Structure 1
Amino acid sequence: MDFATLGLFVLAGGASLFMAWVIGAGSSGATPFAPAVGANAISTMQAAFVVGILGFLGAVLQGGNVTEAVGSGLIRGVVLTPEAVILALVTAAGLMAVGIATGYPIATAFTVTGAIVGAGLALGGLPAWSKYAEIGLMWTVAPLVNAGLAYGLASLLPREDVPERWSVPVLAGLTGAAVSLLGFAVLGPGATSRSIAATVAAIGPVDGSIGVVAIEVAVVGVFALASALVVRAWIGADQQRGLQRYLLVLGSLVAFSAGGSQVGLAVGPLVPLLETVDLSLFAVLVGGAVGMLVGSWTGAPRMIKSLAQDYASLGPRRSISALLPTFLFAQTAVALGVPISFNQAIVTAIIGSGAAVAGGDGVSRSKMGRTLGAWAGSFLFALAIGFGTLSVL
């Protein structure tokens, strides 16, 4: 490897770290605990500190799927050059930085995907239509489902005929079951991921597919029951405090999921360059995780405040209604290896839970409209810059 190649990779790595910082300061650092801060369950600075740690762990343990998809699945027929990687990352990070400065949550996945696709097409690559179809569904249909679930939960929890001493533990049981099915890189053989339930089944004494499935189902049931009983005890001792504790658990899970999804947007473009410099994917994931950690600690408080106070006046119940669907949405995207924006996920959930309030008074319609325009505009602008600049060069 010559010095010119090494120098270009260092520049690309610097752009990747900058992108990781921007993501930590905006998308993954702000969105997971914003509803909890709005519900006064945790302070802004405490939220920024905790989300940084959890995001780091999520990036290292779950970041591989989305990272590989961003690095090699968005364009066909060409490999991104170091110059293209630098341009794509700087373009996307610059648009994200504008969002942080203005208080608007620019959708990270939109800017990164747009910049990479534009750069790849300028290099003569072919569109990856099948991947675009998956991404399009996750960007359009999934947020609507996310908002619908948040609306349904926010409508259900305050009802007098649905006691919270039963309804919230049921949601906690669903959460625990989902946790037992999450894929972790450290549990899988080789480079694959494996869930806790599958790991227990793999080391169990039962042979045959039916026996393995039975053990997995049993593990999922144990996680669900234990989670429900713990939250039931919390609510039985102090209803308000119990709701806040469960809300913080959900915020932690969303923060972990954010790390697993968002790190790929920062370091994914480096994947085509790894063989040239003899680096492993794990090393790149750790570097991106560190960048996101620093971004969460230094830049996230502004965006946390914006989401918590400007978008909706959320109490614990509506915050739970927003975070649980977001957690499930995010983990689905991580499992499929599809890049998503956590800003989009959490904001659509906040819209759904806020709309459950009579007349939708808990949601700022004007800011929601401007945010949607910023999302669409950032994707098109990043696509145009990536394609146009590399075409000229």
Structure 2
Amino acid sequence: MVAIGTLATFAVAALASLFMAWAIGAGSSGSTPFAPAVGANAISVMRAGFIVGLLGFAGAFLQGANVTNAVGTELIGGVTLTAVAAVVALLTAAVLVALGVFTGYPIATAFTVTGAVVGVGLAMGGVPAWAKYQQILSLWILTPFVGGGASYATARTLRSNGTSERVTVPILAGIVGLLVANMEFASLGSNGSSASVARAAALELTGVVGIGETVWFVAASLFVGLIAVAIVGRWMATDQTRGQRRFLLVLGGLVAFSAGGSQVGLAIGPLVPLLDAVTVPLPALLVGGGVGLLAGSWTGAPRMIKALAQDYSSLGPRRSIAAMIPSFAIAQTAVALGVPVSFNEIIVSAIIGSGYAAGGSGVSGRKMLYTVLAWVGSLVLAFGLGYGVFTVVSTAFSV
């Protein structure tokens, strides 16, 4: 039987986690996925906030386990986070993210949560998890260059006079289709494990007419890609402008789903070490985190969507498509690796890349500088506050 004190401390930690989930939904996962679509006038601000909330909830439940476990158990070694440590880390990060939401500057959520958890963990006497830090920092550093570079190249291709958008856009859709076929979902694999649609289909069809798993895997991936080419190709043939906007909305939905799968781990990850004590299953925790993201998206995201869509760059459909494709690819890479990643960093880098493809028009260099400084500052500040606050609390209350 679970002690009342244990339940009480877990309840406090869960409330802190819910506040963090709301802050993330209002800021990072709720605003960034549809910001380019809003900038391209493909969807209204309020409708974007509504849809991204639903898709983020679905992503949290179906793809959230990897990042959740990483944040809860892999950022620090030698110690296990206590309920008090989880509360301090979550509240520290949530306050910083909420300040970003209300001031209009997108604070990188992954930076604040990672910094706060590491700071608290070291204050508890833990040791740094250098291998995980190397993996995380590699993705963080590469994201602006890979995302921005790919966005720039894609936008230049779409703007080229030597290529027809009725051909290039469906080809890009085919690439997205290949990525979708290889997104991992909970319970698709054997024994309830995660697996992609292509991998699950390959396992089911292995041995049929003597064809092995690898061949079926490639065939399933190509099949999904070709379907995407056919659908978007038909859209473009019927109405080119409308086809671009439809494709852009699909991309926004995919990024919103991916945001839920990644960002929910930042909100509920610190609670993972407490689950055994209160016998709460991880899926239930994912649902709770998804509800928090949903609430944040519906109540606070419109402000940040407007900031990203209008303040960072004046985007048309082509540049928006160019920004969203690499964003989706990077997001799914982070989910698969179990690495906490900032969607603000992903989307803003891609917006800059697509903006410079048009000669840099509409891109605010001063705003970009302030944003980068806010990202770095949030990491350092979250680490320092996490370490300092937990040290004071543990000394004062002997916890």
What residue is the counterpart of 2:7 in the other structure? 6
What residue is the counterpart of 1:381 in the other structure? 381
Kindly state the Cα deviation for residue 70 of structure 1 after the two structures are TM-superposed: 0.3
**Which string of whole-angstrom CA distances, capped at 9 and with x for unpartnered residues, describes residues 14-72 of structure 1?**
00000001111110000000000000000001100110010000000000000000000
Query: Structure 1 residues 35, 240: CA separation in 2 closer, same or farther (over 3 Å shift)?
Result: same
Query: Structure 1 residues 165, 102: CA separation in 2 closer, same or farther (over 3 Å shift)?
Result: same
Q: Give the TM-score, by structure 2 length.
A: 0.97
Kindly state the Cα deviation for residue 189 of structure 1 after the two structures are TM-superposed: 2.9
Contact in 1 for aligned 2:117/2:386 (Cα 8 Å): yes
Q: Distance between the aligned counterparts of 1:300 and 1:346, measured in 2?
A: 15
Query: Structure 1 residues 55, 126: CA separation in 2 closer, same or farther (over 3 Å shift)?
Result: same
- Taking only the aligned residue pairs, the percentage that are identical comes to 58
Where 2:168 maps in the other structure, the secondary structure is helix
Q: Distance between the aligned counterparts of 1:208 and 1:261, measured in 2?
A: 39
- The residue type paired with residue 368 of structure 2 is M
- The residue type paired with residue 94 of structure 1 is V
Kindly state the Cα deviation for residue 204 of structure 1 after the two structures are TM-superposed: 1.1
**Which string of whole-angstrom CA distances, capped at 9 and with x for unpartnered residues, describes residues 207-235 of structure 1?**
79971110111111111111011111101
Q: Give the TM-score, by structure 1 length.
A: 0.98
- The answer to whether the aligner puts 1:355 opposite 2:356 as a matched pair is yes
Contact in 1 for aligned 2:252/2:324 (Cα 8 Å): yes
Gaps (5+ residues) in structure 1? none
What residue is the counterpart of 2:397 in the other structure? none
Contact in 1 for aligned 2:59/2:261 (Cα 8 Å): yes
**Which string of whole-angstrom CA distances, capped at 9 and with x for unpartnered residues, describes residues 110-144 of structure 1?**
00000000000000000000000000001101321
Paired residues for 1:106-185 under 5 Å: 106-185=107-186
Q: Distance between the aligned counterparts of 2:364 and 2:124, measured in 1?
A: 42
- The answer to whether the aligner puts 1:336 opposite 2:364 as a matched pair is no
- The residue type paired with residue 364 of structure 1 is S
- The residue type paired with residue 265 of structure 1 is L
Q: Distance between the aligned counterparts of 1:81 and 1:119, measured in 2?
A: 10
Q: Distance between the aligned counterparts of 1:328 and 1:173, measured in 2?
A: 13
Q: Distance between the aligned counterparts of 1:205 and 1:356, measured in 2?
A: 45
What residue is the counterpart of 1:24 in the other structure? 25
Q: Distance between the aligned counterparts of 2:327 and 2:20, measured in 1?
A: 23
Kindly state the Cα deviation for residue 201 of structure 1 after the two structures are TM-superposed: 1.1
Query: Structure 1 residues 240, 7: CA separation in 2 closer, same or farther (over 3 Å shift)?
Result: same
What residue is the counterpart of 2:16 in the other structure? 15
Q: Distance between the aligned counterparts of 1:206 and 1:231, measured in 2?
A: 33
- The residue type paired with residue 45 of structure 2 is T
Q: Distance between the aligned counterparts of 1:284 and 1:201, measured in 2?
A: 31
Paired residues for 1:1-393 under 5 Å: 1-190=2-191, 192-206=193-207, 211-358=212-359, 360-392=360-392, 393=394
Q: Distance between the aligned counterparts of 2:71 and 2:209, measured in 1?
A: 36
Q: Distance between the aligned counterparts of 1:15 and 1:368, measured in 2?
A: 30
Q: Distance between the aligned counterparts of 1:321 and 1:221, measured in 2?
A: 22
Large movers: runs of 4+ above 4 Å? 207-210
- The residue type paired with residue 237 of structure 2 is G
Q: CA RMSD in A?
A: 1.2
**Which string of whole-angstrom CA distances, capped at 9 and with x for unpartnered residues, describes residues 139-177 of structure 1?**
101321111000111111011111001101100000111
- The residue type paired with residue 288 of structure 2 is G
Q: Distance between the aligned counterparts of 1:191 and 1:322, measured in 2?
A: 34
Kindly state the Cα deviation for residue 190 of structure 1 after the two structures are TM-superposed: 3.7
Query: Structure 1 residues 191, 88: CA separation in 2 closer, same or farther (over 3 Å shift)?
Result: farther
Q: Distance between the aligned counterparts of 2:191 and 2:389, measured in 1?
A: 39
